[in-house]
Structure 1
């Protein structure tokens, strides 16, 4: 006999959706308190909800400037939301379980498997231990370097505070920054466009946070096992290729643009090109004015944002592995091959179908939201498409329209950020009916394609 409460038990995707939603609501309540504002004013709840969603979904789109509007309390709330959102609330819950020496249950392992996008539960707790250790270590080292560098400009106390905040923000690919209080609202890292230390550490954090914890683990254990998994090879090669190609394209497009790189030295142009190639991969910080870029550059950044980071990371987008699978499918079709082969391994049909499904859902969502916002917002289609793609891929870059969004616009962008952070497939599994095993198959048919 089935117990009456059995039907109310939640699947792992549903728990993830509700968990993130609960954290966002709690964050919104805290950010709407007068104490969260530097001026002691109460932030409208919708704006607080938008900011909490952006922080928890590690996006970085903001309606008010973080550095000037929020108090230390408000900024601390945002920093905590970023850390929870980046690592995942289940990872943070596991950290407390470790501290209290509690056993991780089977149900919790299933949720962790879903949160980390793993194919099985084998070694999931060991992976979570590594995630926590790697994350805190990387953030600590980066915070120390940032603090030393910025203490020369901002003073010791402010330099340390900025160092900790930005190490957490950039590693988790959130894009929130406090430099509005230094170089003007919404200025991000434009004052440090040519600074090698700031650029190197920031890009290092973004890349390390974006390649995923599985790859980080593989890299750190490479000396022992002397090999990398197929997943790590695909992620590293795709990440390197996109960064280099993106930097070259942006360097050529923006070299003479007086509103962006035109006034920088050659070394400054190179740093700015590299940074703007890295940051669309879901980071959200910028060292040049995004709105001042040429339209070709802006559209190219939309493509980079759509691809995003890698599975099991703090970033969003369709992911580098999905993009690589699609490119592999195109090459295989052109060559008349039946299989997609990467590094001498054949990909299964289920991987290909999942890549196509994820990409199409992402495209449909972005197109739908863009169409709706083009009727509710008084901005060009390119600016709206840029904003929507940035929200879905949890990037946080903007062409300056976030603060001008209508109520409908704020709600839709918030939903898009939420869907992008959890992943379209996770959201679909959580909201859709429970899958049932097919008892029969239809005969195969043929249609003409192309």
Structure 2
């Protein structure tokens, strides 16, 4: 089986990432078939220590920081994330290096008979694309004898395909309203779904949360005798320096009455990334307490050199082109705050595109005051929103907006408008910023059959 065939096979399964949001149903999320698949494959998911991370925002950044800290400390570390920017292989990496095409195809080949067997056995509830990719990561990490695996939850937590592991620690990043049609339309409901990753007696580290969300997390952790560390209560962080390329932060607190105090530098911008760094440091301290020798130099070097593209990433100077994958109201607000705090500019030219399940109106309300000019566009993703509709929404806030359906043409128009001391900001969807990144950096995209 070659790479393209393997990719087509995986994408040919039920793929909720590319189906219209109305296709989601609660019945589609069933861990029993995932457990059955993994049992047939030799249970590769429980053969290495695991850090399991859920949340609405920041779980990818936090995962990347933890994985980088472990790798720089000498541990071969697998990282599983979603979605990807340019190739499916980005989702599965070891020490920052994506799985090769050959390893991807050979691993799909090795598990394909088991997938077909389960799909034949329970045709009404077949293995999904995300479940296959999760199993692929487990097999690959096991085969390569990684010493840690860091797993980012795909959606929710309780019924996510990753929630079959026996983790050393679990982490819940900042919670806000997103995917409300699946997870619930209140913070309490969303928190209960995310808290599904909390395991009996396994430490849980959580970001500071809204009171209604925190109450749920505290209730579940107490019921499961899972010791909780809360950022903002047990661990504090304070920014000590920053510019448009990095920030430094003092992180101090205690885990199980063991105090710590660290000063670290991270290349990721935004106040929210300071909290993510605090989560990562606390997680690595927790692993140290659990008996894993992790040197502080490795932690510091890992966080200072973490790579997490597409999040306040500067692709060009004069004019600055910045991309950010903000795609809900919380991240839209954080992006607005970061642009105002970290950058100096004369005018800002916004290129924006959305996916169909997002709260466009609230995000547009955040970004309209920033923008001198607005161009609406769309990605090649099947759930992308018509740029004409986006333009109409912006015009409701008094912002004449030019709809340009192709991202390369939108970039060209923005470049024509911008002066050297301006900013061109591309945002609204990870799919939009990935195409902008491909265009500017000359990256060959991996295209999928619609």
Could you say which TM-score interval applies, normalised by the shorter chain? under 0.3
TM-score, with length taken from structure 2: 0.25
Higher strand share: 2
Higher helix share: 1
TM-score, with length taken from structure 1: 0.25
